[in-house]
Structure 1
Amino acid sequence: MSAPLGILLLSGAHDRTHYALVLATGAAAIGRDVVLFASNAGCRLFLADPPLLSDAREALLAERGVATLATLLEAAAELGIRRIACEAGLRAEDIEPGSLAQGVEVAGIVTFLAAVGEGQIATL
């Protein structure tokens, strides 16, 4: 079994959230355990209704045949990617934990680091 991949998402920008999901779903598709940890503005990705899903960039990606955030979020859930929203990041962004999508955990950096263990961490 390969080492887990931890992805630390700090940004709420479309390009970073999109690639965090591309990286996460790609790794999970080849059998790696993946933990996607979002903090600060990155926590918006885990909202039950992420604002980026209505972004003009999403329409352009769909038109060009590129997986959208909605598609990648669905794939992440199907692939069993562990999604953790940083408790401090939620407070910093004034996001209520109850507004998060189903299956998203709320925890801190220690939980993320323990889940990744000796694996790799990518920061976006």
Structure 2
Amino acid sequence: MADQPTAPAAPSGLAIVVFAGGFDRVHYALVMASAAAATNRPVTLFFTGRALLALRREDEAGAPGWHGLDPADDGSAPAERDRFFTGNGLAGFDELLSACVALGVTVMACEMGIRALGLPSGAPLRPDVPVTAGGVVTFLNDAPKGGAMLFV
């Protein structure tokens, strides 16, 4: 009997570069991260560009920073799209981000991205999300070895 070829091993972890600032893209990056973490894979989310707005603290009126993300793919405002998702039994933005935190996902904020957006050093980020500041080298060193890397 001939030896059967072995299937390649599944990636052992997941690293996601979240650089697009559209609500649907950032929301789905959180879906992917929380699902991977729930299946015991190490996950790193690296936020840069306009996606960094997802990590901003609430504004003076109490609106979450992610409300400042770019419109969803259907043109709706982030808050409106989130209400649509939750109204249809899907996880909302804050629920997914909280799940990522609870499941031990590493959340990184790109220092270059923060400067490129003109945000002050030590930008006011969400207090409920432990965020590691760093650059691309930090991200690459932290990304799970042998894992998959996605760009969203």
> TM-score, normalising length from structure 1?
0.92
Superposed CA deviations along residues 77-111 of structure 1, whole A, max 9, x for unmatched, are 11111000000000111223241123111100001
What amino acid is aligned across from residue 104 of structure 1 in structure 2? V
Mean alpha-carbon deviation: is it higher for 99-108 or for 76-85?
Answer: 99-108
> Once the two structures are aligned, what percentage of the paired residues are identical?
33
Please report the RMSD computed on the Cα atoms of aligned residues, expressed in angstroms.
Answer: 1.6
Deviation at 1:76, TM superposition (A): 0.8
2:110–2:135 contact (8 Å) kept in structure 1 = yes
Higher normalized helix content (fraction of residues): 1
Unaligned ranges ≥5, structure 1: none
For the residues of structure 2 that align with 1:51 and 1:38, how far apart are their CA atoms?
A: 12
Size of the aligned set, in residue pairs, is 123
Does the residue aligned with 1:95 lie in a helix, a strand or coil? coil
After the TM superposition, list the runs of 4 or more consecutive aligned residues in structure 1 that deviate by more than 4 angstroms: none
Distance 2:66 2:150 in 1: 24
Q: Which has the larger radius of gyration?
A: 2
Task: Return the match for 1:52 from 42, 52, 67.
Answer: 67
Letter in 2 for 1:52: H
Secondary structure of 1:37's partner?
Answer: strand
Q: TM-score, normalised by structure 2?
A: 0.76
Question: What is the alpha-carbon distance in structure 2 between the residues aligned to residue 82 and residue 104 of structure 1?
Answer: 8
CA contact (8 A) 2:14 2:36 kept: yes
Following superposition, the deviation at residue 47 of structure 1 comes to: 1.3
